[in-house]
A and B are shown apart, each in its own frame.
Chain A
Amino acid sequence: QVQLQESGPGLVKPSETLSLICTVSGYSISSGYYWGWIRQPPGKGLEWIGSMYHSGSSYHNPSLRSRVTISVDSSKNQLSLKLRSVTAADTAVYYCARDIVGASGAFDIWGQGTMVTVSS
């Protein structure tokens, strides 16, 4: 059974860097598929942040590209997200998920999500 679990600080100060980890169990990231990050501000819709393949190929939302770094650590079976220079607009539930059709947005397995609040 494939499971994803997000972890990281629940509170980040404005202008600092948001850092999250997604630990995958039941499946080896290096076996394939793209792995992505999606976020959802309170009461709002889903926003794709970016996706990455274990080999290093990655795609990012153009609106966030300059602030986002996504990486994969195959040895730890983890996906990570760094979002720099955060503001209150980055307050959201952050999900990691597996994309089963390239980087097309067909996310079949999701983590439970982790709430991140940007506030001083």
Chain B
Amino acid sequence: QSALTQPPSVSGSPGQSVTISCTGTSSDVGGYNRVSWYQQPPGTAPKVMIYEVSNRPSGVPDRFSGSKSGNMASLTISGLQAEDEADYYCSSYTSAGTPVFGGGTKLTVL
């Protein structure tokens, strides 16, 4: 069960858009529409921002959107704000019937 691949870091200026990628295989990301994204500011528990590729839980701003193409899922944050600075993790259901997380991406708001 290998971790999904995410870039270690991304950055953007306030108001810009950033996209974080999450690359897996046909046995996880590519095989199922069960990708989730989590936001984790330092010292806090993760918070789900997207589930089932593109669904936003209530309370999550529509600046956050998710998509998937082939074996890669993406989280896009538009209208970047200082409060968006955090670590972001993706997760996916796998053919083993279990979930796996990505390695995490640190988002810096410049």
Chain A residues with Cβ below 8 Å from B75 are: none
Asked whether A45 and B102 contact (CB < 8 A) given A63-B1, A105-B92, the answer is yes
Report which A residues bind B (CB closer than 8 A): 38, 45-48, 51, 59-63, 95, 99-108, 110-113
**23 A-B interface contacts by CB (under 8 A):** A45-B102, A45-B103, A46-B101, A48-B100, A51-B98, A61-B98, A63-B1, A95-B45, A101-B51, A101-B93, A102-B93, A103-B93, A103-B99, A104-B93, A104-B99, A105-B34, A105-B99, A105-B101, A106-B34, A106-B52, A107-B36, A108-B48, A108-B57
Chain B residues with Cβ below 8 Å from A101 are: 34, 51-52, 93
Asked whether A61 and B34 contact (CB < 8 A) given A45-B101, A105-B99, the answer is no
**A107 CB, min distance to chain B CBs, angstroms:** 6
Chain B residues with Cβ below 8 Å from A46 are: 38, 46, 89, 91, 101, 104
**B101 CB, min distance to chain A CBs, angstroms:** 4
Cβ-closest chain B residue relative to A108: B48
**B71 CB, min distance to chain A CBs, angstroms:** 16
* Top-8 shortest CB links A-B: A105-B99, A105-B91, A104-B93, A106-B51, A104-B34, A110-B45, A45-B104, A46-B101
For residue B97, CB closer than 8 A to chain A, the reply is yes
Q: How far is the CA of A100 from the CA of B36 in the complex (A)?
A: 11
Chain A residues with Cβ below 8 Å from B52 are: 101, 106
Q: Is B101 a contact partner of A48 (Cβ separation < 8 A)?
A: yes
For residue B96, CB closer than 8 A to chain A, the reply is yes
Chain A residues with Cβ below 8 Å from B38 are: 46, 107
**A87 CB, min distance to chain B CBs, angstroms:** 20
Chain A residues with Cβ below 8 Å from B91 are: 46, 48, 105-107
Q: Is A103 a contact partner of B97 (Cβ separation < 8 A)?
A: yes
Q: Is A59 a contact partner of B34 (Cβ separation < 8 A)?
A: no
> Which of B3, B45, B57, B93 is A105 in contact with, Cβ under 8 Å?
B93
For residue B47, CB closer than 8 A to chain A, the reply is yes
**B72 CB, min distance to chain A CBs, angstroms:** 17
Q: Is B34 a contact partner of A62 (Cβ separation < 8 A)?
A: no
